[in-house]
Structure 1
């Protein structure tokens, strides 16, 4: 029998160090090169030398690719899809240590020397020798390394179940990789006669209250990003009541949105965070004594059971409430100063604005606007969304003053499989094995609180959700899309079981060594083998 390349804790640690050394910051050249290097790494396995057709690179966008690697048992159809991402956030916070950020062993030793600069928790972890520091060690190249180990073990030990490793770019920004992977998963399912029974992610454990409890997750929290363009009336600063500033309009909606409990929900005893403003700014490009009349804001709304359509309906209600209060206060100011109002602020959905603009200017004009904005490479999808709405409002100023409400990428639908029998059995099994073998206490959380690519499988939204999102997202099918119909077909349950770590996206990102290299390999292997025994019959 062939020997495993990644079977021992040391071999697995060496694999992680190699994966981390392939610097793969989102939208970097390293991210583009990572799946190519990974494909070459996996081709070292005897299984893929014998079955090269099961190892595939797939195109996504911006010359990026995602990778699938299939272990297929000849008598099995039932398949576990192992989901991971290989991109990481930036490393600017490492400063002079940037070159060491992707060399975990060296970085860990250097940080020990500088331990006094950090908090007591970090100092204790450095002194303990139980943690490995570095960008991507926790989030989430260890998860990928574990999946590679499972794939190798299955191929060497002939596990009676199929494993499909899927690893994608761009999870940290727009999940372009996973959104592109959804239709590919359906094609692979048909081509190789697969039957997905589980989508298993291995994102790391995110502490809930600064504790050291090991959590597993039977769902993932969702994210919707409603936005607003505030369009007032320009004037000279010396005659302020001859116009209406956009910051004045924006202040009313932001006050209503910030920490608004009407967006909060409780599911399985867990509660989503309150909404918060992610960005608010003036669109005026330079200084002058003309008052600002165009501003924008982005709001972060995390969801459990609400869809984008639900959030947008509530957002419209909140905007109307803000407009009523604004118009009342503004009317009183005008009365006190004996001036005529410049108008009442109205609330306009983006789909209403686009319909109005099409009737006034023609579809060809709208398409040109979108194409022009799309080619501004320095703008991301959020900026492009706001700029499209802005350009339409410039040509439709008779609608001002107004709050134009819209949706911007990314949209992560909430997903939850807590009531699924397979998931409940897996949760119970993992808890028992972790306790028996390692005296490790494992608790289940119903919604992973870090947002992840599992949002694009096991989707349960209805047509209203997709129609509302498409109609009110200005960049829809120009630079951003979601395969809603295909997502409905990927209806297997989801589960996230990953290694313990701390401080994702921070300079002190770190991974618990024993848990990652000794405990998690056993827990994942035994859970998958348990599923394979239960699923021998197709």
Structure 2
């Protein structure tokens, strides 16, 4: 066992003290801090061309990745393991009056002594084995573990049979510009240095899966994430004649009722089931108050996948949307009839039919009807829309669909289904090739070797349950599956673009061995030090040793 606790703790505190909230200058600051730290290691003083501070590619923010590598001197193997982790954190608004102390664990913990906390949290506060603060768990202690191993092998290259690459990437908490930019360098190094990438080890945090769960999890592969979105049109009317039109918010409410928390949309695979979709936004698109009902509404949902493709998700959601549409129309007519009965007004049925289109279907219809005129107009519209810095990828996509809808001849109520944000691909690590089998074997052996040194069970599972940059080092989807994303994202090629070919070119099996703790992204974020500072570096190191000596 490497005696690494004190060193990893020191690195952790140094990283946490550097405020690096995503989409702020802090991301730039921490990248420079890590770069300067590594450049002080003797190996990198002697080999400065093994360390890089690289600005992200085609990014609206100025921020950087830090990449470094150590070439082993034990033999002449080109087998290479990537150690990766993100430097950015979420914000600190949830700390309220303690916000200034969020990045200083000792000061924060001292202040928390005066707060009313549940007994279990008080126990952690007093245990001397838990560290509180923004980023201690997600995931600066993980980056610190990788830093320790980089430093160790830079001092002992004769023990390294092969190579290790260190990557500290930015922007994991938002758009993953960091990892997507780093792919280009990692792929370039395959040719420049002959690196034969055999595995990537991510160091993102792990947590209990349920109350009382004492397992510490390692994940093989990761779940994917999509953001399916719906632009919903109604039939405008004055509120005094409510039943003469269709409120799109009424349709949106039925859609969310149908999709939210629906277990039929939980994609179980290999005995593991992600949480079902949940709404992340529901709004109408009226710019100001009027006594007219809205023309359109906009909703989008978080959607985790294990084995479904983006194309399959569109098909399943189209079915669910048709069910919701039928339910909404039936409810509308039932209430309309009831109102007419009690008010003495004559009942006249509407002839609306449920209609759900994907963005690709609508776009192809409009191109068929209008040709180059439509395409030219939409390209100019999107170019102009890029001048509005307030629009994120999700609202940008909604505005594009809204503009395209104006060209539709049939303006009856409709739901348009599309993707409005980054697709984080799922990765299945099943042993389908030699590299996957080698990584699984190396991991299993590492757990057997390290488990006797730790009191709680170390358990492997198949899918990392959160969003992470693991998604961008390998690709389980076919090209036609990716096409379902690119053809149905209205901002594709303008506001949003991912070179999925870079991922396919790297295509390295990945696991997650990360710090253990509770309440990531919350005020009481904390990590258990024994597992995070001692077990994680040793588990990671043992996997490296097992892989590179093959």
SS where residue 31 of structure 2 aligns?
helix
Rounded Cα–Cα distance in structure 2 between residues aligned with 1:327 and 1:377: 38
Matches within 5 A, 1:438-517: 438-517=454-533
Inter-partner Cα distance in structure 2 for 1:528 and 1:20 = 26
Cross-structure match for 2:102: 101
* Residue 290, structure 1, aligned to residue 292, structure 2: yes
Distance 2:456 2:441 in 1: 18
- Aligned partner of 1:252 in structure 2 is 254
Q: Distance in 2 between matches of 1:14 and 1:261?
A: 44
Three-state SS of the structure 2 residue aligned to 1:182 is helix
Contact 1:206 1:450 in 2 (8 A): no
* Partner residue, 1:422: 438
Tell me which residue corresponds to 1:380: 392
* CA-atom RMSD in angstroms: 2.0
Counterpart check, 1:56 vs 2:52: yes
Which of 353, 356, 362 is the aligned partner of 1:347? 356
What secondary structure sits across from 2:487 in the alignment?
A: helix
Structure 1 residue 274, shift from structure 2 partner: 1.4
Q: Distance in 2 between matches of 1:268 and 1:339?
A: 52
Distance 1:11 1:221 in 2: 32
Q: Give the distance between the partners of 2:230 and 2:290, measured in 1 at CA.
A: 24
Contact 2:443 2:543 survives alignment (8 Å): no
SS of 2:467's partner is: coil
| Counterpart Cα distance in 2 of 1:365 and 1:356 | 15
Runs of at least 4 residues off by over 4 Å: 328-337
Q: Which runs of 5+ in 1 are unaligned?
A: 1-5
1:273-284 alignment runs, 5 A limit: 273-284=275-286
How many angstroms does 1:246 deviate by?
0.6
Q: CA deviation at 1:440?
A: 4.3
| Structure 1 range deviating more: 201-210 or 503-512 | 201-210
Q: Distance in 2 between matches of 1:391 and 1:343?
A: 22
Shift of 1:327: 3.7
Q: How far does residue 310 in structure 1 lie from its aligned partner after superposition?
A: 1.2
CA contact (8 A) 1:334 1:341 kept: no
Moved more, 18-27 or 34-43: 34-43
**Shift, 1:69, TM fit:** 0.7
* Counterpart contact for 1:55–1:70, Cα < 8 Å: yes
Q: Distance in 2 between matches of 1:300 and 1:511?
A: 27
Deviation at 1:8, TM superposition (A): 4.4
Aligned-pair CA distance for 1:439:
4.0
Give the corresponding residue for 2:343: none
Q: Identify the range of structure 1 (343-352 vs 215-224) with the bigger mean alpha-carbon deviation.
A: 343-352
Distance apart, 1:322 and its partner CA:
2.3
2:42 to 36, 39, 46: 46
Q: Return the alpha-carbon distance in structure 1 between the equivalents of residues 225 and 23 of structure 2.
A: 21
- In structure 2, what is the Cα distance between the partners aligned to 1:329 and 1:106? 57
Q: Paired residue for 1:13, among 6, 9, 25?
A: 9
Taking the aligned partners of 2:351 and 2:239, their CA distance within structure 1 comes to 15
- Structure 1 residues 80 and 237, CA, compared in 2 at 3 Å: closer, same or farther? same
5+ long unaligned stretches in structure 2: 341-345
Secondary structure in 2 matching 1:228: strand
- Which residues of 2 match residues 265-280 of structure 1 at below 5 A? 265-280=267-282
Q: What's 2:450 paired with?
A: 434
Offset at residue 377 of structure 1 (A): 1.1
Once the two structures are superposed, residues 264-313 of structure 1 have per-residue CA deviations (whole angstroms, 9 ceiling, x without a partner) of 23222211111111111111122111111211101111111112111111
Give yes or no for contact 1:87–1:169 (8 Å, CA) kept in 2. yes
Deviation at 1:165, TM superposition (A): 0.8
State how far apart, in whole Å, the 1-side matches of 2:36 and 2:89 are: 20
Relative to structure 1, the CA distance from residue 442 to residue 7 in structure 2 (aligned partners, 3 Å threshold; closer, same or farther) is closer
Aligned to 2:424: 412
The structural deviation recorded for 1:195 is 0.6
CA distance in 1, matches of 2:334, 2:456: 64
TM-aligned CA deviation for residue 422 of structure 1: 1.9
How many Å apart are 1:428 and its aligned residue?
Answer: 1.9
Which residue in the other structure is 1:174 paired with?
175
* Separation in 2, partners of 1:459, 1:10: 37
Q: 1:238 is paired with a residue of what secondary structure?
A: helix
Task: Return the offset for 1:463.
Answer: 1.9
Deviation, structure 1 residue 320: 2.1
Partner of 1:264: 266
Structure 1 residue 491: deviation in Å?
Answer: 2.6
The residue correspondences of 1:88-167 to structure 2 (distance < 5 A) are 88-114=89-115, 117-158=116-157, 159-167=160-168
Match of 1:69, SS state, is strand
Q: 2:80, 2:548 within 8 Å by CA — same for their partners in 1?
A: no
Give the deviation of 1:466 after TM superposition. 1.2
User: 1:3: which partner in 2?
Assistant: none
- In 1: Cα distance, 2:13 partner to 2:23 partner: 21
- For 1:38 and 1:399, locate their aligned partners in 2 and report how far apart those are by CA, in whole Å: 56
| Cα separation, 2, equivalents of 1:113 and 1:332 | 57
Structure 1 Cα separation of the partners of residues 329 and 314 of structure 2 = 22
8 Å contact 1:417–1:423 — kept in the other structure? Answer: no
Q: TM-score, structure 1 length as denominator?
A: 0.93
CA shift in 2, pair 1:252/1:192, >3 Å: same
Indicate the larger mover: 328-337 or 503-512: 328-337
What displacement does 1:201 show? 0.5
- 1:345–1:400: 8 Å Cα contact kept in structure 2? no
